[in-house]
Amino acid sequence: MSRNLILGTLLTALFLGAALLSFLWTPYPTDTVAITERLQPPSAAHWLGTDHFGRDMLSLIMVGARTSIAVALVAVGIGLGLGVPLGLAAAARSGGWLDEAIMRMNDLIFAFPSLVIAILITAILGPGALNAIIAIGIFNIPVFARLSRGAALSLWRREFILAARTAGKSAPRISAEHILPNIANLLIVQGTIQFSLGILAEAGLSYVGLGAQPPIPSWGRMLADAQTMVALAPHVAILPGLAIVLTVLGLNLLGDGLRDRLDPRLGVVRT
Amino acid sequence: MLAYALKRLVILALSLAVASLVIFVVVEVAPGDPASFMLGINARPDTIAALRAELGLDLPVHERYLAWVTGMVQGDFGTSYTYRAPVAQMVAERVQVSLPLALYALLLSTLIAFPAGIFAAARRGKPGDVAVMGATQLGVAVPNFWFAMLLVLLFALKLRWFSAGGFPGWDDPLQGLKALTLPAVALALPQAAILARVMRSALIDILHEDFIRTARAKGLSRRQALWRHGVRNALIPVLTIIGLQFSFLLAGAIIIEQVFFLPGLGRLIFQAITQRDLIVVESVVMLLVFAVIVVTFLTDLAYAAVDPRLRGRR
Amino acid sequence: MIPSLVSKYLGEREGQRPSHLSDRTQSDSKPLLEIDALSLAIHDKPILKNLTLTIAPGEIVALTGESGSGKSMTALAAMGLLPQGAEITGALRLDGTDLCALSERRLCALRGREIGMIFQEPMTALNPVQRIGAQVAETILVHKAMPRGVANARAAEMLARVGLPPERVPPTRYPHELSGGQRQRVVIAMAIALRPKLLIADEPTTALDVTTQAQILDLLRDLVREEGMGLMMITHDLAVVSEMADRIAVMKSGEIVEQGETRRLFAEMRHPYTRQLFEASRHRADLPEPRPDGPLLRVAEVTRHYPGPRDGLFRPGQPHIAVNGVSLEVARGERVGLVGESGCGKSTLARAILGLEPVQAGEITLGGAPVYRHGKPDRAVRRRVQVVFQDPYGSFNPRHRVGRLIAEPFHLLDDPPRGPARDAAIAQALSDVGLKPEHAGQHIHAFSGGQRQRIAIARALIIRPELVIFDEAVSALDVRVRAQILDLIADLSRQYGLTYLFISHDLSVVRGITDRVLVMRGGEIVEAGETETVFDNPAHWYTKSLLAAAPSLPRPPGGGPEDDPEPDA
């Protein structure tokens, strides 16, 4: 195992574990306010200090991990679930109208950055974690569609696909039986990277108030709340950000490590 | 080349048409009656009726869409309901902050990423490469708005080199630029990290190409081959990323404006959302999408400039 | 004015060069390149062992052998372009200077100026975003041999010298606007722009069609003779070697097993490996007598074209016609060859017969039933034809085991065998092609190229198709493995009375494995007839030019039997 893979797995496991653990137990409750304990620096009682309501930062970060991971995971699921079939269909009908339509739709979605989609949805439906999921998820669709189309196209030209065609197999069957297993590694690696990008995007959306709403704790909101208190208590601004950095770093290292392990020549895109 | 550019231009026009239709449908058709939405549940029927008349909601949907589009083409973005001012004028003021910020950041990002990426590729596997790659790995993971807060903490609050926020306007261009520097750095560094990685891996891929070996056989040193034959070929994938990054930077600029209290499009749009001013939201979103589509078009042209294989095509 | 300037610079070295070199310089004169007990290991894996070889000025020395024999590594060693982790012992002297002892900077000064190199793959050897003239001029400029203006004029002159005159192929062209042969000429122009003393050509014609190959070989020969360069020519093709080289070194697993003057080496062939290569190269399989038994495949007036690149914005361009009104028939039990150069439409035709490409006009029938019914391939007809492709590495899904791979055509049967019957069929198919039933459980990466082609044949035959299409099925194989696969095809013909269409660009292979041959050019069949008749008395000019361009082996020593027993693996 490479260093990337080990460190990446450890960091990812740490935050996944923290998120799962928070369902059962947190050091302190996150929904009670203790004004007397507000903005305390890290101490033995509160390892990571307290926020402006006197809530325990460690507990908040644990619960916040839940939100980030849930949003990003579902968004990746949307991208994989819709993007991959679209990409495979486009590749199977390469050059045809379906391919053209799918690719043009992709280009169109690329013209709407997730923030813009989130703004549009929020303007109509009001803010919420669901908006963030939809906005990030929609943006993931063309990412996976393009990736799987490109990889599938190069496979369609390979002779083993021609052999399957001479065995009379249909395009959907070939896509499922021959193409998908051969691009699975690529999708896993790209999925890891989209996961980490999703966490960053969720944090940004929550920060500007378009994502998860109180009382649901989220890292982006914690940073928004901390902004006016940066000078007073830097730890409330630094720690949630550090949580984001470490999670994203962990996922990226995991992605790189997986790529090197599975196939160093995978054409993963990172934007 | 001309045929290629024309084809891209047609695609640009079509994208704009479809994008405007999507935005129009989402904002003006999906929520039901925009007037009652904007006024909230407690509005009196006669106020709603008045607003409907003002917004021209009595007209059929397709006429409203055409009116909106033709208005935009002529520079008329409608009138903001809350500010009672022409949206075009409000947007024009805000663009003066947001667009320079995005471009400033793009410039910084490119200026940092190119040398870093080339440096790392030229020293693949050596300590210099490992250091640059480690730094970019970290840079990719940092949310720009959080990085902005750290910059404020260090350079504005502790060192007092920059102000913590606000924008003095362009009367004194240097002061304006200075006010945009911390936000631009915050935006640029994470993007630069991504771009440097793309540059490096594109170069490393190209260094394995046969024509690099041909160049070496001609007597070029490793470094000469990298610069003369590697970099221009690496630009092809790098340009794609730069094009994509512009839309990220524009969106990122909207978020960063929140950190630095900059009077840009971001502030405008978030105020408009809280005040349910759909006219402003619609216009600003259209403007952002317009910018992204135009940049995609420019990226396509840049491709053709770099890659002769595209010029003859279509 | 410019020509005079050029000639001034051209004259630079004139004094050092023998002006006329029709008198062959042999090894008795002072060698240009001297490889002295050269050994090479990459990451401790031995690649070359104790190589000793010399090349004199004006001499063509060929390095030959199968893939993995170390030929290309020898070339890269002479260029000082070995991959990282390479450790070298012995000496490589150019004009007395040991290249192994030179610094990278000195080597850079030497490459391009004293040693030029030509590579195998012309399609990727040029920088796609730079004009060809600039790429040739770069050789001159990087060595600061001439001012820019003169260098450009010299580049144009060199391009003209290699057969790309400015009025037909201006130096302002980009590589993608040139054909493969033209690109290889550009590469040659780059290599000889500064008239190096030594030219190294690594499989320079392997990627080219046979007529282009002949032209490039002529060009190289002329250059060597006129400029007095030494040429190290690396090729796996013994026929090319026999026609080009003054001397030959035969390599096997990093060693030179035999070397000597060309004619003498072919006459003596002291090392058994040389003999095996030679015999495999001219191998003809022992086909059973053909017993044609009624028509099977009928292709009538078939046309297949592709939409060309669009001219204007919406105007469709000229369609590219891949197959143009082709008609042919194959009788049951017949073995028919289809030869032609790349792009002649032979693979498109094969795919149309297989039901992979719809045709725009004409009809394809198998045993009277049309392959396409309402534009869709008919399953019942499809199961009567199977295929073996060229690439032993790309023809199999790497994630499946051999058993599953070769059973894939069962999909075409209405009632495919299941359970033990299926396993038995797989075992039978594997033993038919000389493999063991146990191999069914292994993944494809465990097999060599030749074994993979056997597996491909097993896959094609498992449903006992009436017609098999071999699409360049032996083109990617080394000669000795190729001979074995051809023998296998002959054995299977004997056993099952195969009917096949054997598609190849290689005339000598087709000659040994077919009863009848079709020659294809530009989407049309220009000549058809009994294989021996067509090869001995070609009627069409194109067939004649193909046969004339194909390099041939010398007669075997002592006349030798026509077909020798299969060489060992």
pLDDT single digits (tens) A253-263:
998 888 888 76
Cβ separation of A163 and C411 shorter than 8 Å? no
Angle, vertex CA B169, rays to CA B166 and CA B173, nearest 5: 115
**Separation between Cα atoms, residue B302 and residue C60, nearest integer Å:** 47
Give the chain C residue whose CA is nearest to the CA of B10. Answer: C313
What pLDDT is stored for residue B79 in this prediction?
83
- φ, ψ for residue C365, nearest 5 deg: -125, 150
| H or E segment and range at residue C175 | none
List chain B pLDDT tens, one digit each, 314 residues.
Answer: 778 888 889 989 998 999 999 998 888 776 667 777 777 777 788 888 887 777 777 788 888 889 889 988 888 888 887 788 888 999 998 999 999 999 999 999 999 999 999 999 999 889 999 999 999 999 999 999 999 999 998 998 888 888 888 888 888 999 989 999 999 999 999 999 999 999 999 999 899 899 999 999 999 999 999 999 999 899 888 988 888 888 888 888 888 998 899 999 988 988 888 888 888 888 889 998 998 899 888 988 888 888 888 876 43
**Confidence at C314, pLDDT banded by 50, 70, 90:** low
Amino acid residing at B121 = A
Q: Is C55 helix (H, G, I), strand (E, B) or coil?
A: strand
Our CA-based measurement puts residue C445 at a distance from the nearest CA of chain B, in whole angstroms, of: 24
Of the candidates C125, C174, C309, the beta carbon closest to that of B214 is on: C125
**A251 close to A195: Cβ distance less than 8 angstroms:** yes
Angle, vertex CA A37, rays to CA A35 and CA A38, nearest 5: 65
Query: In the block, which residue shows the tokens 């294809």?
Result: C520
**Separation between Cα atoms, residue B184 and residue B193, nearest integer Å:** 14
Of the candidates B23, B142, B152, the beta carbon closest to that of A245 is on: B142
**Separation between Cα atoms, residue C112 and residue B220, nearest integer Å:** 9
Cβ separation of B18 and A203 shorter than 8 Å? no
What is the homologous superfamily of the domain B93-312 according to CATH? MetI-like (1.10.3720.10)
Cβ separation of A115 and B255 shorter than 8 Å? yes
Of A204, A136, A112, give the one whose Cα is nearest residue B256.
A204
Domain boundaries, chain A: 3-32+48-266
The two tokens of residue C231 are 């040429």
- Polymer length in residues for chain A: 271
Largest CA distance in chain A: 76
**Separation between Cα atoms, residue B197 and residue C495, nearest integer Å:** 59
What pLDDT is stored for residue C308 in this prediction?
67
**Separation between Cα atoms, residue C91 and residue C97, nearest integer Å:** 9
Cβ separation of B143 and A123 shorter than 8 Å? no
**A131 close to A154: Cβ distance less than 8 angstroms:** no
B270 vs C298: which has the higher pLDDT: C298
B273 — contact with chain A (CB < 8 Å)? yes
For chain A, which residues score pLDDT lower than 50?
Answer: 271
**Separation between Cα atoms, residue C325 and residue C330, nearest integer Å:** 17
Q: Which of C323-337, C357-371, C418-432, C547-561 has the lowest mean pLDDT?
A: C547-561
Neighbours of chain A (3+ CB pairs under 8 A): B, C
Chain A residues inside the 8 Å CB shell of B293: 111
Amino acid residing at C560 = G
* C325 DSSP 8-state letter: E
What pLDDT is stored for residue C424 in this prediction?
95
Give the chain B residue whose CA is nearest to the CA of C191. Answer: B218
- φ, ψ for residue C469, nearest 5 deg: -110, 120
Chain B residues inside the 8 Å CB shell of C142: 218-220, 224
The residues pairing with C502 across neighbouring beta strands, listed in sequence order, are C337, C470
What pLDDT is stored for residue C3 in this prediction?
42
Is there a cis peptide before residue C437, judged by omega within 30 degrees of 0? no
The residues pairing with C94 across neighbouring beta strands, listed in sequence order, are C33, C97
**Confidence at C469, pLDDT banded by 50, 70, 90:** very high
The two tokens of residue C556 are 């075997």
Give the chain B residue whose CA is nearest to the CA of A221. Answer: B146
Chain B residues inside the 8 Å CB shell of A112: 19, 22, 289, 292
Q: Is C228 helix (H, G, I), strand (E, B) or coil?
A: coil
- φ, ψ for residue C250, nearest 5 deg: -95, 125
Average pLDDT over residues C173-191: 93
CATH code of the domain made up of A3-32+48-266:
1.10.3720.10
**A–B CB contacts, 8 A cutoff, strictly below:** 132
Average pLDDT over residues C287-314: 81
Amino acid residing at B175 = Q
- φ, ψ for residue B163, nearest 5 deg: -80, 155
**B–C CB contacts, 8 A cutoff, strictly below:** 84
Of the candidates B210, B219, B309, the beta carbon closest to that of C125 is on: B210
Cβ separation of C129 and B307 shorter than 8 Å? yes
Tell me the CB-side half-sphere exposure of residue C137, using CA atoms within 13 A. 18
> Mutating which of A166, A179, A183 best tests the C interface, going by the most C Cβ atoms within 10 A?
A166
Predicted TM-score of the model (pTM): 0.85
Q: Is C441 helix (H, G, I), strand (E, B) or coil?
A: helix
**Confidence at C562, pLDDT banded by 50, 70, 90:** very low
A123 vs C498: which has the higher pLDDT: C498
**Separation between Cα atoms, residue B66 and residue B73, nearest integer Å:** 11
Query: In the block, which residue shows the tokens 């690109």?
Result: C183
With 70 as the cut, is the pLDDT of residue C147 above it?
Answer: yes
B270 — contact with chain A (CB < 8 Å)? yes
> Mutating which of C314, C354, C390, C408 best tests the A interface, going by the most A Cβ atoms within 10 A?
C408
Chain A residues inside the 8 Å CB shell of C379: 168
Cβ separation of C383 and A168 shorter than 8 Å? yes
- Look at the alpha carbons of B169, B173, B175, B178 in this order and tell me if their dihedral is positive or negative: positive
Cβ separation of A227 and B259 shorter than 8 Å? yes
* C331 DSSP 8-state letter: E
User: Which stretches within C256-296 are classed as H helix?
Assistant: 262-268, 272-281
The two tokens of residue B55 are 């917004």
Cβ separation of A162 and C356 shorter than 8 Å? yes
With 90 as the cut, is the pLDDT of residue C15 above it?
Answer: no
Domains along chain C with CATH numbers:
2-9+32-281 (3.40.50.300), 285-307+316-384+466-569 (3.40.50.300), 402-462 (no CATH)
C542 — contact with chain A (CB < 8 Å)? no
Give the chain B residue whose CA is nearest to the CA of C106. Answer: B219
**C196 close to C115: Cβ distance less than 8 angstroms:** yes
Our CA-based measurement puts residue C84 at a distance from the nearest CA of chain B, in whole angstroms, of: 12
Cβ separation of A163 and C459 shorter than 8 Å? yes
Q: How far apart are the first and last CA of chain A?
A: 26
Amino acid residing at B23 = I
> Mutating which of C397, C467, C501 best tests the A interface, going by the most A Cβ atoms within 10 A?
C397
Q: How far is CA C540 from CA A92, B180, C77, C543, in A?
A: 41, 77, 46, 5
What pLDDT is stored for residue C310 in this prediction?
57
Our CA-based measurement puts residue A173 at a distance from the nearest CA of chain C, in whole angstroms, of: 11
What does the pLDDT look like over C429-440, one tens digit per residue? 999 999 999 999
With 90 as the cut, is the pLDDT of residue C499 above it?
Answer: yes
Cβ separation of B308 and C128 shorter than 8 Å? yes
| H or E segment and range at residue C74 | helix C71-79
> Mutating which of B16, B124, B149 best tests the A interface, going by the most A Cβ atoms within 10 A?
B149
Angle, vertex CA C404, rays to CA C401 and CA C406, nearest 5: 105
Strands C467-471 and C385-388: what pairing? parallel
Q: Which residues lie closer than 8 Å to B91 by C-beta, 6 or more apart? A: B77, B265, B268, B283, B284, B287
Average pLDDT over residues C530-548: 94
Q: How far is CA C481 from CA A114, B23, B155, C4, C569, in A?
A: 57, 64, 71, 55, 7
Chain B residues inside the 8 Å CB shell of A225: none
Give the chain B residue whose CA is nearest to the CA of A117. Answer: B285
Our CA-based measurement puts residue A178 at a distance from the nearest CA of chain C, in whole angstroms, of: 7
B139 — contact with chain A (CB < 8 Å)? no
